[in-house]
């Protein structure tokens, strides 16, 4: 499992790879947290939510949008992100800690998750995608 930032003219483009679909979604969540926050994150708090989507890309966009909303409204930085997918339903189980400007500050504000170019594909034994975070 991995993610890396790739060049983009205006926003943040992340290339994500994982051995299965659930891990790919989790890695996308970790990539989002890495863009938004710096430092190490604890796991004192637990959250969960469910989202639906008509296809894998819509499900991923719904998941990341909800993760973005929860981290901002609850003021929590997530270190643990676990995803299960059953049909068109995704359940996310999260662990994290309250945001601390001194510990987590210095990241980039993400305004939204773009559908532009979002396509999940398989390459050999991995699931791969490029995802654009609107900043």
Domains of the chain: 2-134 (3.55.10.10)
Contact assessment for residue 110 and residue 35, using Cβ atoms and an 8 Å cutoff: yes
Segment 67-92, tens digit of pLDDT = 999 999 999 999 999 999 999 999 99
Contact assessment for residue 31 and residue 13, using Cβ atoms and an 8 Å cutoff: no
Neighbouring-strand partners of residue 4: 15
Contact assessment for residue 20 and residue 54, using Cβ atoms and an 8 Å cutoff: no
**Position 4 confidence tier, pLDDT thresholds 50, 70, 90:** low
132 vs 3, more confident? 132
């Amino acid at each position: 499992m991995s993610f890396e930032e790739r060049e983009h003219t205006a926003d943040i483009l992340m290339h994500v790879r994982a051995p299965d679909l659930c891990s790919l979604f989790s890695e996308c969540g970790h990539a989002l947290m890495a863009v938004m926050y710096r430092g190490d994150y604890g796991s004192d708090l637990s959250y969960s939510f469910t989202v639906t989507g008509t296809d894998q890309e819509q499900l991923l966009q719904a998941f990341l949008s909800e993760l973005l909303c929860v981290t901002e409204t609850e003021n929590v930085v997530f270190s643990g992100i676990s995803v299960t997918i059953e049909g068109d339903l995704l359940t996310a189980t999260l662990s994290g800690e309250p945001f601390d400007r001194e510990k987590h500050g210095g990241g980039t504000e993400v305004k939204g998750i773009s559908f532009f170019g979002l396509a999940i594909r398989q390459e050999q034994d991995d699931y791969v995608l490029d995802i654009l975070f609107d900043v």
